Amino acid sequence: MRRLATVVVAAALAGLVPVGAAARAEPTTPQTWGVAPATKDGPDGRPAFTYKLDPGATLTDYAAVTNYSATPITVDLYASDAFNTPEGGFDLLAAGRQPTGVGAWVSVEPAFRRLVIPPKSRMDVPFRLAVPRNATPGDHAGGIVASVAGTGVSADGNRVRVDRRAGARIYLRVTGEVTPAFEVERLDLDYTTNLNPAGGGLVTATYRIRNTGNVRLTGRPESTVAGPFGAGRRTARADPLPELLPGSEITTTVRITGVAPLVRLSVRLDLVPEPVAAQGADAATATDTAALWAPPWPQAAAALLLAAGVWLAVRLRRARRRSGHHPAEGKES
């Protein structure tokens, strides 16, 4: 999906959440805008709306919506829930989906839900956050969204409605017990043989990891592979995971090179959760193990060739010895 100019500008502002457009926008006067945390007097430099509140608490805050364009824009302002994309990115629900988390706990006065912002101007909009009394402890993520509707052209040439959005993230921590935890839900293994008998093969371990705790987490998977009785042990670390929201999952791959084909290999994953913010609770290591076959075919083939070569050399030596032996000739009387 092509990201429009408004998204690029929004992304340049700290803490903003760009959302790609679903179709190519028709050429118009460039429109760029952004959303940022603010006070009633304007942006205050916060990278995101970050709160720690008790269940039942309420507060009023401000979002600064700025029109950087040379023409007026009409903006729809609302809140929504956040989720992780399959790649681990931070995104917000589509405009047509109703939030059920922190996006539903934010309310904007009707008079501010649709704004007409003059060129090169800013409006500081109040909103109210009311945490339900039965809200679960832990992290709840969402965002304040400023949406500008327009028209575009789809891949097949049809005119479609394009919803271009920019926003600022909301991170709410509801007080109570926090439980940082990862779970490995799936493990797929593959061994790629190295045709060079003197070289080791490649173990590819693909894991699906879920944040089963109630706070935002990251971490760095570490995989260890070894043969029987720990022979040929090798370890590799994958790239750090992106920030995963509670309940979100991601699939990641660890590749371990130079692994000897020791017939039967065991693979172990260790993942220590690293809370994004101070939690006040220990995070247990998530561990999973599995095994796979790694037949030493190149080594076996090399051994057979070597044995055949030795056998052939012995036969040739014997044949030469036999051909070089002649019985003594008798003398005539």
Which domains are delineated in the chain?
Answer: 5-174 (2.60.40.10), 182-297 (2.60.40.10)
Q: Give which of 65, 60, 56, 74 is closest to 106, Cα–Cα.
A: 60
DSSP 157: S
Q: What is the pLDDT of residue 311?
A: 83
Q: How many CA atoms lie within 13 A of 246 on its CB side?
A: 19
The residues, ordered by sequence, that sit 6+ positions from 15 with a Cβ below 8 Å of its Cβ are 36, 37, 46, 47, 48, 168, 169
Structure tokens at 242: 């992106």
Q: Give which of 121, 136, 156, 162 is closest to 32, Cα–Cα.
A: 121
Rounded distance, CA 266 to CA 252, Å?
A: 19
Structure tokens at 249: 């999952």
Rounded distance, CA 171 to CA 51, Å?
A: 6
For residue 135, the one-letter residue type is A
Structure tokens at 44: 């205050």
Rounded distance, CA 261 to CA 265, Å?
A: 8
Rounded distance, CA 216 to CA 230, Å?
A: 35
Rounded distance, CA 243 to CA 44, Å?
A: 25
Q: CA-based angle 70:76:78, to the nearest 5?
A: 135
Please answer whether residues 122 and 42 qualify as being in contact, where contact means their C-beta atoms are separated by less than 8 angstroms: yes
Q: What is the pLDDT of residue 91?
A: 95
Q: What is the pLDDT of residue 28?
A: 60
Q: CA-based angle 314:317:318, to the nearest 5?
A: 85
| Distance from the Cα of residue 313 to its chain's centroid | 58
Q: What is the pLDDT of residue 12?
A: 32
The residues, ordered by sequence, that sit 6+ positions from 71 with a Cβ below 8 Å of its Cβ are 29, 31, 119
Q: Is the dihedral of CA 61, 67, 72, 75 positive or negative?
A: negative
Helix (H, G, I), strand (E, B) or coil at 314: helix
Q: Give which of 218, 214, 144, 142 is closest to 175, Cα–Cα.
A: 214
| Residue that is written with structure tokens 């990115």 in the block | 89
Q: For the chain, which residues score pLDDT lower than 50?
A: 1-27, 333
Rounded distance, CA 105 to CA 132, Å?
A: 8
Rounded distance, CA 171 to CA 276, Å?
A: 11
Helix (H, G, I), strand (E, B) or coil at 118: coil
pTM comes to 0.79
Helix (H, G, I), strand (E, B) or coil at 173: strand
